[in-house]
Amino acid sequence: MIRQQVVSADEWKAAHEALQLNEKQATRARDALAAERRRQPVLEVTKDYALEGLGGAASLSDLFEGRSQLILYHFMFAPGVEGWPSAGCPGCSMFVDQVGNLAHFHTRDTGFVLVSLAPLEQIDPYRRRMQWSIPWFSSSGSDFNRDFGVSTDLGETFGLSVFIRDGACVYRSYFTSGRGVEALGSVWTFLDLTPLGRQEDWEDSPEGSPRSARYQWWRRHDEYR
């Protein structure tokens, strides 16, 4: 099973220290990118959106719950998405499993919510099945998903938006999708530390490493065997 070269303790230490230098460079590059992101211009959201949560009707401003910042995950739960009509996207579900306790966000004046196109009567049973407590809102019947770029003529997709509030005014500061969202998940980050990695066919891994088609191994957490 070992595809990597087996070396002495001194050789391992030298190789590891060389890798750490590259990791530090990557960390500094990420810090610089985060600094640039914090200075990105913002776009005011002037349109009213009628969303629905467990507490009833809600506006985008209501989702902040009085906080200054909001991280909003556009969760794929809509016609044409795998699992419809009783379950949400497996990949989105895997991502949400990794979010963690929201108290850590709240202490920095930041909220975290999910929004999906599915009606609330479909969202809530799936939320209970997955045992999630993250606030989850339905955008059914509104232009929310299309306006924020996750409902297109090609179908529904996923993404993550960041908003900031100044009094009654709400501004969109950031959006990412695809591997930009994937990079936020701790499962993928942890697997990237291992010799076998994610074991997906796109990775540059030692010859003979196990591989499978990308994304295909992802499951809802109660569906693994």
| pLDDT tens string 164-180 | 999 999 999 999 999 99
Separation of alpha carbons 214 and 90, rounded Å: 13
Angle at 185 between CA 181 and CA 190, to 5 degrees: 140
DSSP-based three-state secondary structure for 20: helix
Q: Which pair of tokens denotes residue 108?
A: 């920095």
pLDDT at 108 over 80: yes
Beta-bridge mates of residue 44: 171
Q: For the chain, what is the mean pLDDT?
A: 95
Question: Which residues have C-beta within 8 Å of that of residue 107, sequence separation ≥ 6?
Answer: none
pLDDT at 225 over 90: no
Q: Which CATH class is domain 43-178?
A: alpha beta
**By the 8 A CB rule, do 69 and 162 touch?**
yes
> Residue 223's pLDDT is what?
97
Phi first, then psi: what are they for 168, rounded to 5°?
-85, -5
Separation of alpha carbons 17 and 5, rounded Å: 16
Question: How sure is the predictor about 5, in pLDDT bands with cuts at 50, 70 and 90?
Answer: confident
Q: pTM (2 decimals)?
A: 0.93
User: Which amino acid is residue 27, in one-letter code?
Assistant: T
Over residues 11-22, the mean pLDDT reads: 96
> Residue 9's pLDDT is what?
96
pLDDT tens digits along 30-80: 999 999 999 999 999 999 999 999 999 999 999 999 999 999 999 999 999
Q: How many CB atoms lie within 10 A of CB 142?
A: 17
> Residue 130's pLDDT is what?
98
DSSP-based three-state secondary structure for 174: strand
pLDDT at 92 over 80: yes
pLDDT tens digits along 111-147: 999 999 999 999 999 999 999 999 999 999 999 999 9
